Structure 1
């Protein structure tokens, strides 16, 4: 029967054991459908070994429990914290405990580096590496309800027990191929705190729009800031305040009065009156009156009119060949948008730095400069130097 820790003392005792281990596997269960910030409902952890006490469930909803011992463990740089698809877990711990675990290891990223494909799922790695299967019947249950069923506990614990074997396999593969430094690059990016901070000042950048008018963007910036601040303060999803298309409509129509708001096609009824209406109008007014020198600038999108379609196609062939030769997922090296940027003359991007430049970037630039050509022989693509 899975052991569930419901007191700070029990958690501290387990974390003291974990402090002597080379690594610990970690996963979470949470809810986010009705809140802005994810509600942490369960933490699963396992130590190396096969003893029942080596794997536990931690109940953060238990009365009186403090997660401080867990966060102290996360700060312990002698213990590797192993996750699968860690980004959401890390965001939760950053918000809840102002901590980002380090050192960390993400088996999804490692699997892409080791050639298992793009964004490979945990279930696939369990099947291919651990030679086992998962019972997914509890996948969509409400993790905030108590008591948890034995089926829920068993399901949750499987997310960290199999992870031990997966981690050891992938780490050995990275060591064998000399790609541990590649992994380190990826993990430094994953644990950059700025990736987990949503600044209302920049919320407008999340909204897709084709309009680059300074006044339009100024109003969009102010109403998006209002929405983000309100959603954070009330801890409700931002789309429950206003959806993106409403922000675009407000930036276009620039209403001045409550009567103007009443003409909106998209604004919810409750936002057309009272304090909410006044706050929206105030945000629009701030945008309209913003000094033109302070107007937000549209993102520097590449000029697609300069796109060379033939070169973009060649870059896709080169990327596929390079990814297969290196045994790395294509998407981890460069995206389709990256390839179009390169074909438009772009020379900046993740693909142009670190191990990606070594694997693909250098030859991509040589191809653009006419220094190499590509030819096919059977199933293989060959690079032919021209200069």
Structure 2
């Protein structure tokens, strides 16, 4: 059994970092809570494996995690040390959002597996361990409360298993990619992960307004109720769904309680909402009190007018021809290699982007190479889709 060291102090963090700084590669994973037990995204555990020992670094007991974890952040930023993750995008977004950490020299085993072209779907770590190593790993703690202390021994073992097999998995997948001549594919995709950055959504309510078919005249009330719920959730340190559920948002907008008495009788609300000051804030949204402020237009750079809808006549015909050529090339890649690789090179989203922006701007070099070589092999003109659409 690999030794597991559980770290809860800044002194031990520093000592671990002094050992790890001399390692050529580290297997890394994070456990975090994303609006399940508390408000916001909260780091709960950092797992690191150096090939000999698993380190479970617990940020919860630290008084100033951002400062006390800096020795680890130095390692993650160091391009001389390879960091092996599985499906790392959520982890690196969290590190950027909470600590401004931009991880360098990433190898993602989910990226490696995807580029083998054996499946369309992202594979879970447990399934990948089973498929490649023939081991059954217990995933029973996956949805446990990682913010609750003390951690159980089962949680610690689960967390250790998330990094313990990453080196062996990566080595096996690297060998398979090498046999297929696709190592440079993985290098390009992993390099691109270094540029992933967190960006705050200034209008998060729009994401769910569409789901509940909120009409334009209902949007100001929906927005204000959504934002009030979010502010209350932050003050109570509870996920918004614990204040009241998303489906209640649309129900309340369409049947808004008339006054404070109605709000007290409303089902599905957190108990704190039925007394001051929150009761008064909710009552301000009732029909006799609510002042509708129209939703401001999106900035020009955020407006998403579908490119094809802006075209007509000869331009629309040329766009249709680009789409037909890309569809034909995708069919050829399917026949020449397989459908999984064809979708990696020309998914529906990528086709739409290429029609507007051109393959040279949209695709990675390895994708461009496949597209160019396929076009040449089948007597088609890659140049017709390489550059941006001429308006």
Same fold, TM exceeding 0.5? yes
Q: Cα distance, 1:157 vs. partner?
A: 1.8
Question: Which of these residues, 76, 83, 92, is aligned with residue 81 of structure 1?
Answer: 83
1:237–1:140 Cα change, 3 Å: closer
1:8 corresponds in structure 2 to 10
Taking the aligned partners of 1:260 and 1:69, their CA distance within structure 2 comes to 54
What pairs up with 1:306-385 in 2 under 5 angstroms? 319=330, 322=333, 325=336, 328=340, 332-333=344-345, 347=356, 353-355=362-364, 358=368, 385=380
Residue 192 (structure 1) aligned with residue 191 (structure 2): no
- Is the 2:350–2:362 contact (alpha carbons within 8 Å) kept by the matching residues of 1? no
1:351–1:160 Cα change, 3 Å: farther
Residue 289 (structure 1) aligned with residue 293 (structure 2): yes
2:114 corresponds in structure 1 to 112
Residue 179 (structure 1) aligned with residue 185 (structure 2): yes
Q: TM-score, normalised by structure 1?
A: 0.70
Q: Which runs of 5+ in 1 are unaligned?
A: 367-371, 373-381
Aligned length: 354
Q: Write out per-residue CA displacement over residues 269-311 of structure 1, whole angstroms, 9 at most, x where no aligned residue.
A: 7546643243245468776133x7x25699646899x9xxxx9
Q: Cα distance, 1:236 vs. partner?
A: 1.7
Taking the aligned partners of 2:368 and 2:223, their CA distance within structure 1 comes to 39
1:56 corresponds in structure 2 to 55
1:375 corresponds in structure 2 to none
1:318–1:350 Cα change, 3 Å: closer
1:142–1:159 Cα change, 3 Å: same
Residue 166 (structure 1) aligned with residue 175 (structure 2): no
Q: Which moved more, 1:173-182 or 1:3-12?
A: 173-182
Q: Cα distance, 1:87 vs. partner?
A: 2.9
Taking the aligned partners of 2:17 and 2:335, their CA distance within structure 1 comes to 41
Taking the aligned partners of 1:350 and 1:287, their CA distance within structure 2 comes to 49
1:157–1:321 Cα change, 3 Å: farther
Taking the aligned partners of 1:335 and 1:280, their CA distance within structure 2 comes to 45
Taking the aligned partners of 2:49 and 2:59, their CA distance within structure 1 comes to 17
Q: Which runs of 5+ in 2 are unaligned?
A: 312-321, 385-391
Q: Write out per-residue CA displacement over residues 320-367 of structure 1, whole angstroms, 9 at most, x where no aligned residue.
A: 76367556556655656777x68xx97469997123963788899x9x
Taking the aligned partners of 1:269 and 1:148, their CA distance within structure 2 comes to 30
Q: Write out per-residue CA displacement over residues 170-216 of structure 1, whole angstroms, 9 at most, x where no aligned residue.
A: 44555642214531464145x2122xx3x4x3111221437575432
- Is the 1:203–1:228 contact (alpha carbons within 8 Å) kept by the matching residues of 2? no
- Is the 2:32–2:43 contact (alpha carbons within 8 Å) kept by the matching residues of 1? yes
Q: Write out per-residue CA displacement over residues 62-116 of structure 1, whole angstroms, 9 at most, x where no aligned residue.
A: 4668322212222223223221122332344334433232233322122212324
Q: RMSD of the alignment, in Å?
A: 4.6
1:320–1:208 Cα change, 3 Å: farther
